[in-house]
């Protein structure tokens, strides 16, 4: 959703001035960050997992991650008064400003040379995108084969599937009728072939993400009314015919919501 907001504004625009209002975010900005951006045109804005990728006319790619509290806003006419946690401002040739705000400073901005994304220490190890043709039951089973961790924790590992996120991992497991606590390896045979559970889960992941995209312009992103289990602790399970209630448990520091009755 962030990419869809930024792409129409940034694509084809030149970064006339990059305003860097502090020396670092989670990590220091790369060397000559401002001067490597200024005068460059944004060729396109893409996404890989939770990273935004702005391809520049110089051949470099501006890699951005929101962290836990980061956000972008677009000021179409520029010149808006800055807020306390506005750390980076891209002044575009169109007159618009793109502003990165991050109260906790867990975000990241990096510049990767041409051809460097495939060997980037983080991006180069990411698993397939969940809505891509590369992600299916076979890919999911191979990634989970032999894993002793829980299935929910495995889904949050970006090497298994990139960019799924905590909310939709819980939602997909409910759709697939799979317990978040079962061992990840149980969806694969010892040789890594998919069991029926892998087919159900891969299909469920694609289903909940397609539903989320279709609803993106409607309800509030965090509205619990749109979810089957997420953020519904103590409420009745929404699966037809199920008499269970939604429970909450912490896994790997994240909240997991699930129904003990229908998720096995």
Domain co-membership, 6 together with 112: yes
Query: Within a domain: residue 82?
Result: yes
Tokens representing 11 are 């694509």
pTM over 0.85: no
Query: Within a domain: residue 260?
Result: no
Average pLDDT rounded to a whole number, residues 189-214: 96
CATH of the domain at 67: 3.20.190.10
Question: Above 50 in pLDDT, residue 220?
Answer: no
Direct distance between the N- and C-terminal alpha carbons of the chain, in angstroms, rounded to an integer = 32
Tell me how far the alpha carbon of residue 172 is from its chain's centroid: 15
Domain co-membership, 80 together with 45: yes
Phi, psi at residue 220, to the nearest 5°?
-60, 140
pLDDT of residue 223: 52
Write the DSSP string, 214-232.
Answer: HHTTSS-TT-GGG-SSTT-
- Tell me: the pLDDT tens digits for 53-79? 999 999 999 999 999 899 999 999 887
The strand order across the sheet containing 51-56 reads 42-48, 51-56, 61-65, 108-112
Owning domain of residue 9:
2-125
Query: Within a domain: residue 247?
Result: no
Q: How many H helices and E strands in the chain?
A: 6, 10
Instruction: Choose one of 99, 125, 151: the last residue of a domain.
Output: 125
Query: Within a domain: residue 17?
Result: yes
Query: Is the CA virtual torsion 173, 176, 179, 184 positive or negative?
Result: negative
Instruction: Choose one of 74, 97, 125: the last residue of a domain.
Output: 125
Instruction: Choose one of 61, 95, 125: the last residue of a domain.
Output: 125
Domain co-membership, 36 together with 151: no
pLDDT of residue 5: 93
Q: Which of 34-43, 118-127, 145-154, 245-254 has the lowest mean pLDDT?
A: 118-127
Domain co-membership, 89 together with 150: no
pLDDT of residue 225: 67
Domain co-membership, 98 together with 24: yes
pLDDT of residue 226: 83
Domain co-membership, 74 together with 142: no
Which of 93-98's residues contact partners 24+ apart within 8 Å by CB, and which partners? 93/13, 93/14, 93/15, 93/16, 94/9, 94/13, 96/9, 96/13, 98/6, 98/9, 98/10, 98/72, 98/73, 98/74
Tell me how far the alpha carbon of residue 119 is from its chain's centroid: 20
- Tell me: the pLDDT tens digits for 83-134? 999 999 999 999 999 999 999 999 999 999 999 998 888 898 899 999 999 9
Domain co-membership, 148 together with 216: yes
Band (pLDDT 50/70/90 cuts) for residue 224 is: low
Domain co-membership, 189 together with 107: no
The number of domains in the chain is 2
Query: Within a domain: residue 71?
Result: yes
Domain co-membership, 30 together with 63: yes
């Amino acid at each position: 959703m962030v990419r869809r907001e930024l792409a129409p504004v940034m694509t084809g625009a030149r970064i006339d001035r990059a305003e860097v209002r502090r020396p670092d975010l989670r990590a220091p900005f790369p060397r000559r960050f401002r001067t490597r951006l200024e005068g460059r045109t944004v060729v396109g804005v893409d996404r890989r997992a939770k990273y935004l990728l702005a391809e520049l006319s110089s051949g470099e790619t501006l890699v951005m991650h929101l962290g836990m509290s980061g956000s972008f806003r677009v000021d179409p006419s520029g010149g808006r008064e800055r807020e306390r946690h506005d750390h980076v401002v891209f002044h575009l040739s169109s007159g618009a400003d793109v502003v990165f705000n991050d109260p906790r400073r867990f975000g990241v901005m990096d510049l990767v040379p041409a051809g460097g994304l495939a060997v980037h220490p983080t991006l180069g190890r990411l698993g397939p995108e969940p809505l891509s043709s590369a992600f299916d039951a076979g890919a999911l089973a191979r990634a989970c084969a032999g894993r002793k961790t829980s299935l929910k924790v495995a889904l949050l590992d970006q090497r298994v599937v990139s960019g799924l996120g905590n909310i939709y991992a819980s939602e997909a497991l409910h759709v697939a009728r799979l317990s978040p606590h079962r061992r990840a390896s149980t969806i694969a045979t010892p040789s890594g072939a998919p069991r029926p559970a892998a087919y159900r889960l891969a299909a469920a992941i694609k289903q909940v993400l397609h539903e989320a995209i279709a609803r993106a312009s409607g309800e509030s992103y965090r509205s619990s009314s749109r979810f089957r289990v997420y953020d519904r602790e103590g409420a009745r399970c929404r699966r037809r015919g199920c008499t269970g209630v939604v429970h909450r448990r912490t896994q790997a520091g994240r909240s997991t919501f699930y129904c003990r009755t229908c998720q096995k």
